[in-house]
Structure 1
Amino acid sequence: MASSEKGQTVDLASLSIQQLSQVKKQLDDEVQHLTTSYQSLLAAQRKFRECLASIKNGIANSTQDKPLLVPLTASLYVPGTLADTEHVIVDVGTGFYVEKNVKEAGEFYNGKIEEVGGNVKSLEGIVNAKGQNLRVVEEVLRQKMVAANTSSNPAASAS
């Protein structure tokens, strides 16, 4: 028995090999999509942690007025200097930036890390459940294929 997204259960033994193959393909696609989403969430969480580390370690009075490279894109940096060690510009999403003091920025990124962490944890549970469903479907499909091969080739079963 496997449960669908709507909470209904399906007796896998009652499905044909073709239907089981379709269910397996659908589950494969779902697991792949969910795994990709999981990896994206982990990457976002890592980015927020890097931002938090930059705020904690990169902004200090000792770095004020010293030359540094400012990232414009992932591969383009321009020279600059840090004029204010008490305030930072925070990307709050969808291209919006807000000026915050260092403490508020740290709280913002800590909140984001916790929020994404909760999403990662719940998605991990969903991926594991879908993976378990996939393994069950694969096992039933394998058993049906072996049974079909045995019944269609009686000489093979007599050997």
Structure 2
Amino acid sequence: MDRARQKKVQKYEEFVDRRLKPDLLRAMAERDKVFEQQKIFSDLKRNIENLEKNSVTSLRTMVNLGSEVYMQADVPDTSHIFVDVGLGFHVEFTRSEALNFIGTKEEQILRLIDEYTRLIASIKAQIKMVCEGIREILQLPVSEL
């Protein structure tokens, strides 16, 4: 009986270590990427609103060329901007069109964050359930938190 219990416990532990924990880490990393997207769109929205509020029609800025190498850039007309819509595509929008797109994108991002949060909670619940199963197999007392 002890040998059978040990095999079951080992099987459950391997399931947690090889399947559930990597799934949890992957889901958390994906949600973090979505949080980063949310921040980018939030910053863009704030910048566009500042351009409109201050009636800025042209500006001088620093542009990251990559590897933290910056170059000064003159933007003669800020009435149209290019927005990364995904998959490497950039679409030219007016400020109001960009704000509408960003609003739609933010809703989509919030739904995605919610989905990942539910997935993470589900995986954590599965891990807890397997740990409870191991506790029952080993006939350990329930620890109070």
Task: State the TM bucket, normalised to the shorter chain.
Answer: 0.7 to 0.9
User: Please, which of 19, 23, 31 is the counterpart of residue 15 of structure 2?
Assistant: 23
Give runs of aligned pairs for residues 2-41 of structure 1, distance below 5 A: 16-25=8-17, 26-41=19-34
User: Please, which of 115, 122, 125 is the counterpart of residue 115 of structure 2?
Assistant: 122
The aligned counterpart of 2:89 is 96
The two structures, once aligned, show a CA RMSD in angstroms of: 2.3
Deviates more, 1:105-114 or 1:53-62: 53-62
Q: CA deviation at 1:68?
A: 2.3
Residues 65-97 of structure 1, C-alpha deviation per residue, up to 9 Å, x if partnerless?
x43223333612211222112111111222222
Residues 9-34 of structure 1, C-alpha deviation per residue, up to 9 Å, x if partnerless?
xxxx9x81122112212111111111
- Equivalences, count: 133
> Which amino acid is 2:10 matched to?
Q
Residues 100-132 of structure 1, C-alpha deviation per residue, up to 9 Å, x if partnerless?
100001111111111011011011011101101
In structure 2, runs of 5+ residues without a counterpart are 141-145
Distance 1:113 1:73, change over 3 A: farther
1:55 and 2:48 correspond = yes
User: Please, which of 58, 63, 66 is the counterpart of residue 70 of structure 1?
Assistant: 63
TM-score norm. by structure 1 comes to 0.73
TM-score norm. by structure 2 comes to 0.79
**Aligned-partner SS, 1:16:** helix
In structure 1, runs of 5+ residues without a counterpart are 1-12, 148-159
**Distance (whole Å) between structure 1 residues aligned to residue 103 and residue 87 of structure 2:** 19
> Which amino acid is 1:104 matched to?
E
Q: Which has the larger Rg?
A: 1
